[in-house]
């Protein structure tokens, strides 16, 4: 004889069944940490990424942004993503070199002549090959955004030729290519964490630093520097990565959502970054920062002086990879 359910038990069973779809639809929230302020074009790119994933994630995944290193330094966030504690991290290529040495190819001085050349390499087979090298390191590389070309500011004099760098105490990233490059040009290269930079400039412990326009502007370096020289000595990509431990638990549909959102946000972010450069420089000039371009002939002289640095690090990075990068750049130059 079958035992009949009491009305109370029936109500409880129905309630449990009704609760199941709601629980199943709870989205997984992916933390996206990065080191720059939200109002920077990179921050706006992250916001675009968040919006796109929320729209297309089918209620399965959502992204929450954490700007300004609130989850830790770039290196700390990369480590957290490797461990699966943080789901997504955006970082400059410099700390990624610690995981995959070939990323140092982007540190080579005067590698790219303009953004079109950078895009061709980053979005082409070479860029993809480097992103794929992250997989054994516990990360999945989605795509590249940008912080842009780097320029020198200082409190002493305009930089119009290589000789103007001689003797300047110039802060650089804790990166051997940058250290050797500026030493070769005669500067006293001082490796220093970015968090210590403003105070060191303000106290005149150092004279100079180098960064893209957006970073210079966002950190109000015009308050502690007098000259901004458009050296364009290096180009800084921004690498968007997902924890492989997290990635492997997501569905193929979710993979597509994240990949597509990264590419669409990339195009939005790069356009915004490039269009904002002129207004950022104008604003800093209005606040007293003296700006100058570098004559093409002088930039060519600097490039020639730095060839030994390029040769030295090409051997460490892998000469075949470096040749591949220059071949891609040459293709773009022949089309101009």
Residue 18 belongs to a domain:
no
Question: CA 240 to CA 134: how far, in whole Å?
Answer: 11
Give the pLDDT of residue 196.
Answer: 93
Cβ-Cβ contacts under 8 Å for 219 (sequence gap 6 or more): 197, 198
Cβ-Cβ contacts under 8 Å for 25 (sequence gap 6 or more): 59
Residue 139 belongs to a domain:
yes
Structure tokens at 69: 């290193």
Confidence of residue 195 (pLDDT cuts 50, 70, 90): confident
pLDDT mean over 150-175: 96
Give the pLDDT of residue 19.
Answer: 47
Confidence of residue 1 (pLDDT cuts 50, 70, 90): very low
Residue 14 belongs to a domain:
no
Give the domain range for residue 61.
Answer: 27-335
Residue 37 belongs to a domain:
yes
Residue corresponding to tokens 């901004």: 228
Confidence of residue 118 (pLDDT cuts 50, 70, 90): very high
Class of residue 96 by CB neighbours under 10 A (exposed 0-12, middle 13-18, buried 19+): buried
Instruction: Give the pairing of strands 227-243 and 139-154.
Output: antiparallel
Residue 153 belongs to a domain:
yes
Note the pLDDT tens digit of each residue in 320-334.
Answer: 999 999 999 999 999
Asked whether the beta carbons of 164 and 152 are under 8 A apart, the reply is no
Asked whether the beta carbons of 117 and 335 are under 8 A apart, the reply is no
Q: At residue 7, does pLDDT exceed 90? A: no
Structure tokens at 10: 């029936």
Asked whether the beta carbons of 224 and 201 are under 8 A apart, the reply is yes
Residue 297 belongs to a domain:
yes
Residue 6 belongs to a domain:
no
Q: At residue 17, does pLDDT exceed 50? A: no
| Count of structural domains within the chain | 1
Confidence of residue 100 (pLDDT cuts 50, 70, 90): very high
Residue 2 belongs to a domain:
no
Note the pLDDT tens digit of each residue in 258-303.
Answer: 999 999 999 999 999 999 999 999 999 999 999 999 999 999 999 9
Asked whether the beta carbons of 177 and 109 are under 8 A apart, the reply is yes
CATH code at position 257: 3.40.190.170
Q: At residue 185, does pLDDT exceed 60? A: yes
Task: Calculate what percentage of the chain has a pLDDT beyond 70.
Answer: 93
């Amino acid at each position: 004889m079958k035992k009949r359910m009491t009305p109370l038990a029936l109500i409880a069973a129905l309630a449990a069944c009704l609760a199941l779809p709601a629980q199943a639809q709870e989205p997984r929230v992916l933390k996206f940490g990065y080191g720059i302020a939200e109002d920077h074009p990179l921050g706006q790119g992250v916001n675009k990424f968040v919006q796109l994933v929320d729209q297309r994630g089918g209620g399965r995944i959502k992204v929450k942004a954490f700007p300004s290193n609130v989850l830790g330094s770039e290196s700390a966030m990369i480590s957290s993503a490797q461990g699966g504690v943080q789901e997504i991290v955006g970082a400059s290529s410099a700390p990624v070199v610690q995981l995959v040495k070939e990323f140092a190819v982007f540190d080579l001085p005067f590698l790219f002549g303009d953004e079109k050349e950078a895009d061709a390499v980053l979005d082409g087979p070479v860029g993809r090959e480097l992103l794929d090298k992250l997989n054994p390191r516990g990360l999945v590389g989605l795509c590249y955004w940008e912080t842009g070309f780097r320029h020198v500011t200082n409190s002493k004099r305009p930089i119009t030729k290589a000789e103007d760098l001689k003797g300047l105490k110039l802060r650089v990233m804790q990166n051997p290519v940058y250290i050797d490059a500026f030493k070769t040009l005669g500067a006293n290269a001082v490796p220093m964490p970015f968090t210590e930079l403003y105070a060191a400039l303000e106290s005149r412990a150092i004279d100079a630093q180098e960064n893209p326009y957006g970073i210079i502007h966002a950190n109000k370096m015009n308050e502690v520097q007098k000259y901004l020289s458009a050296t364009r000595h290096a180009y800084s990509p921004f690498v968007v990565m997902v924890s492989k431990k997290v990635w492997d638990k997501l569905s193929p549909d979710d993979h597509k959502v994240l990949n597509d959102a990264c590419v669409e946000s990339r195009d939005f972010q790069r356009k915004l970054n490039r269009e904002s450069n002129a207004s950022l420089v104008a604003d800093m000039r209005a606040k007293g920062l003296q700006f100058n371009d570098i004559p093409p002939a002088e930039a060519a002289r600097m490039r020639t002086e730095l060839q030994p640095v390029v040769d030295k690090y090409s051997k460490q990075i892998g000469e075949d990879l470096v040749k591949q990068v220059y071949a891609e750049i040459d293709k773009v130059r022949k089309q101009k």
